[in-house]
Amino acid sequence: MLKNTFWVSTPNAYNTNRMIDSTLQILQSKYGLRLDEIFFEDVRIGVYKTAVQLTGERYGVAGTYRAATQDYKYRTKRDAGPYSTNHIIGQHVAGLFQAPSTPIVDNLKVATLNALSAKILQNTDYQVIKDKDPIDLIDLSGQKTISIVGAFKGYIQKLSATDHRLNIIEIRPEAIPPEYRHHYVPSAQAPEILPESDVVIITGSTLVNNSLKDLVAYLPKDGITILVGPSSSFVPDVLFEKGIDIIGATAITHPKKMLQIVSEAATGFHFFRYCAQKICILNKKSTTFAS
């Protein structure tokens, strides 16, 4: 039985994220990015989102993750490292990925990875569909078992109104609106629930808190897995290798507005209203899209 650790901070919660490191290697080796020549020009760490502006008009965003059980310990350290408060803007990107892991550093890594990837996603042969939600690209005919990892209110509302069997896997049941809590499944049951699902929808915030590495071991072999959210908006090679079929990512259309609203406690809803568009990145090797 897998421990109930998907969204709980543990002593190992800030270990190296191999998916991030592997993607960083791809950005350098495949696309020739020189990270020591790219600097932080602006950083916004909001209540819900973290955003960065890098050299070369590169912008990226990720979820802001705070590990509650480690937060007090972190604050008492009064960190004054190179990627801490008042020390981030002007630093080069390369050093971030070598810095000791802290809540700020972990949030910044994913946002930075998205910023480094944004122009590449626009100008390569990845299969990208604009202005679509991933749920609109899959066959939902018949009665299916759909498991949502995270309290995605929009998906929960839409899918609970159907005849599909819905599971909401979440560490905090209070995050689920009361009228939908009968779909709640404790995260400790993920190893049993996910492999039997026809569709799995996972929040991109699992990249920030480093829990996706646990979840991918239990993805359904014959089902469809969707990773969705601004945090998942980077070159998808590693995610596809791990079994993700569709990435519901975010393309920033108005970057200055994006920086502003992150500072004003923006959520994903505000992004798509003011400064971003939905994009779907398809895994062409997935049987889901086989011709």
pLDDT of 290 strictly over 60:
no
Q: Is 211 left (phi over 0), alpha (psi -120 to 50) or beta?
A: alpha
pLDDT band per the 50, 70, 90 thresholds, residue 15: very low
Closest CA to 196 of 140, 145, 141: 145
**Are 91 and 173 found together in one domain?**
no
- Give residue 8's pLDDT band: very low, low, confident or very high (50, 70, 90): very low
What distance in Å separates the CA atoms of residue 247 and residue 228, rounded to the nearest whole number?
6
Q: How many domains does the chain have?
A: 2
CATH number of the domain at 285, please: 3.40.50.11590
Look at residues 255, 260, 238, 257 and name the one whose alpha carbon lies nearest to residue 247: 238
Is residue 206 domain-shared with residue 275, that is, in the same domain?
A: yes
Give residue-wise pLDDT tens across range 157-166.
999 999 999 9
- Both 103 and 170 in a single domain? no
* pTM exceeds 0.85 for this model: yes
Predicted confidence at residue 208, as pLDDT, reads 87
Which DSSP string corresponds to 76-103?
A: HH---STTSTTS-TT-BHHHHTTSPP-H
What range defines the domain where residue 197 resides?
Answer: 127-289
**268 and 134 within one domain:** yes
